[in-house]
Chain A
Amino acid sequence: MSGTEGPVTPLPRSAAFMAGLRVAMSVPAAVLFATAVGFGAMARDGGFSFGHTLFATATMFAMPNQVMLFDQLARNETFLIVIVAVALTAMRLLPMTVTLAPLLDRPRRHLAQDLGLSHFVSISTWLEGHRHLPGKPEAERVPFFLGLGLTVVLTMIVATVLGYAMASRLPPLITLALLFTTPIYFFLSLLATSRTRLDALAIAAGSGLIPVMYFLVPGYDLLATGLVGGTAAFLLGRSRR
C-alpha cells in the first residue's frame, strides 16, 4: 500500500478558509477595489449618507445592482420603478447560484447554510468558485468559499468607505475622473465578457434605445429599454444562430 491511490486527506477547515482568502486577494483585486471606490464616490456625489452607502455594499454585494439602485434613487424615481429595475438586474444571480450550489452541497444536506452562503455569489466569486472548487475535496469546499466570499465582501466595504471619504477631499478634477470610471468600468466589463451574438445585441440595444426612451417614456426609460431591448436582442440572437 503506497497510499498514493487513496483519497486525499482534506485540509483542516481553517486552512481551507485561508486558501479561499488567498484566492480572493489574487482575483483581479485591483479592478474590483477600484469599482467599489468608484461606487463610494458616486454615492457621495448623489447625496447619500455614509450609512446608506455602507449598508448597500454590505447587504447587497452586487456592484451593478448597487449602482443601479443609487442612480435610480438619486434621480428620484418611484419606489416601484427602482425595485423592478434592481430586481431585473439581479436576475442574473439566479442561474449563477443554480450552477454554483451543487459544488458546495450535493445532495442537499444543509439548506440554512446554503441560503447563507448564497449571499457570497457575485460575478467574481462565481468565476473563482468554478475555477477552484471542483478540484477540492468536499470537506474543504464550504470553508474555502466562505474565506473567498468574506474576503471579497470586506475588501469591497473598505474600498467603498475609501471612495466615499476621498470624494470630498480630492481636487474636483480628480473626483470627476473617479466618477467617470464607474460607467466606463461597467461598459468595458460588458464588452470583456461578451461572447455570443446575443450579448453583443443586448449591449447595442441597451446603448441605442436608452436615449430614445429617455425622451419617449421619462421615468420608465430604463425598464422600457431593458424589457423591449433585451427581448428583441433575445429573439434576434436566437433565431439567427
Chain B
Amino acid sequence: MTFVDDGTGGYLTLFVAGFLATEVWRWMGILVGSRLSVDGAVFQWVKAVATTLIAAMVSRMLLFPAGQLAGVPFGLRMGAFLGGIAIFYAARRNLGIGVAGGGLLMLAILAVYGST
C-alpha cells in the first residue's frame, strides 16, 4: 500500500479521503437543511449513483478480490454468493439469515473443497 507514505503514516489520507469526504455531506445536510426537496430529481440521482457504486464495489470484491478471497476459486465464490442470495429470499428477505447463510455456505464449500 502506498497511502502510508503520505508523511503522517497514512492518517492524513484517511482524514481527508475518509472522514472529510464523508462528514462534509452531513454538515451540508445541516447547513442547507430544508431548502432542498428530498423528493426532487437531484436526490433521486444521488441515491441512484450511491446504490450503483455500492453494488459495483461488492461485485468487484467478489469478481476480482484484493485480499485472501482471491485464493478461493471463482466458481466457489460465485456459488456461495448466489447461494446466500437464494437463502435470503427463501427466508423471506431476512438479512441476518441471508448473511449468516452465505457465510456458512462459504465455510461448507471451503471445507469440502479444501481450497486453502
A-to-B contact residues, CB < 8 Å: 28, 30-31, 34, 42, 45-49, 51-52, 55-56, 59-60, 62, 64-69, 71, 73-76, 79, 82-83, 85-102, 108, 111, 114-115, 118-119, 121, 172-192, 194, 198-199, 201-207, 209-211, 213-214, 221-222, 225-227, 229-231, 233-234, 237-238
Cα–Cα, bound, A203→B57 (Å)? 11
Q: Within the complex, which residue of B1, B11, B49, B99 is in contact with A55, where a contact is CB–CB below 8 Å?
A: B11
Cα–Cα, bound, A207→B44 (Å)? 19
Closest to B93 in A: A192
B-to-A contact residues, CB < 8 Å: 1-3, 9-11, 13-19, 21-30, 32-34, 36, 38, 41, 43-64, 66-69, 71-72, 77, 80-81, 84-85, 88, 93, 95-96, 98-100, 102-104, 106-107, 110-111, 116
Q: A191-B85, A209-B56 are in contact. Are A227 and B49 (CB under 8 A)?
A: yes
Q: Which residues of B contact A233 (CB under 8 A)?
A: 48, 51-52
The 9 sampled A-B contact pairs (Cβ below 8 Å) are A55-B11, A69-B14, A94-B43, A206-B59, A207-B58, A230-B49, A230-B53, A231-B48, A234-B45
Check A30–B96 contact: CB distance below 8 A: yes
Closest to A187 in B: B58
Cα–Cα, bound, A105→B78 (Å)? 47
Q: Within the complex, which residue of A98, A180, A187, A214 is in contact with B85, where a contact is CB–CB below 8 Å?
A: A187
Closest to A177 in B: B107
Instruction: Give the secondary structure class of A's interface.
Output: helix
Q: Which residues of A contact B2 (CB under 8 A)?
A: 76
Q: A187-B58, A230-B48 are in contact. Are A119 and B26 (CB under 8 A)?
A: yes
Cα–Cα, bound, A182→B28 (Å)? 29
Q: Which residues of B contact A108 (CB under 8 A)?
A: 33
Check B110–A185 contact: CB distance below 8 A: no
Q: A28-B95, A79-B13, A191-B88 are in contact. Are A226 and B22 (CB under 8 A)?
A: no
A229 to chain B, nearest CB (A): 4
Check A31–B95 contact: CB distance below 8 A: yes
Q: A28-B96, A94-B46 are in contact. Are A230 and B16 (CB under 8 A)?
A: no
A29 to chain B, nearest CB (A): 10
Check A98–B29 contact: CB distance below 8 A: yes
Check B48–A202 contact: CB distance below 8 A: yes
Check A207–B49 contact: CB distance below 8 A: no
Q: Which residues of A contact B9 (CB under 8 A)?
A: 49, 51
Cα–Cα, bound, A91→B21 (Å)? 9
Check A230–B45 contact: CB distance below 8 A: yes
Cα–Cα, bound, A214→B61 (Å)? 12
Check A173–B103 contact: CB distance below 8 A: no
Check B61–A46 contact: CB distance below 8 A: no
Q: A179-B69, A181-B103, A230-B52 are in contact. Are A121 and B18 (CB under 8 A)?
A: no
Q: Within the complex, which residue of B32, B44, B54 is in contact with A186, where a contact is CB–CB below 8 Å?
A: B54
B110 to chain A, nearest CB (A): 5
Q: Which residues of A contact B36 (CB under 8 A)?
A: 95, 98
- A90-B22, A176-B110, A206-B54 known, 18 other contacts, Cβ within 8 Å: A30-B96, A31-B99, A46-B1, A47-B1, A64-B54, A68-B57, A79-B13, A89-B50, A92-B46, A92-B47, A115-B27, A172-B68, A173-B107, A176-B107, A214-B64, A222-B56, A225-B56, A231-B45
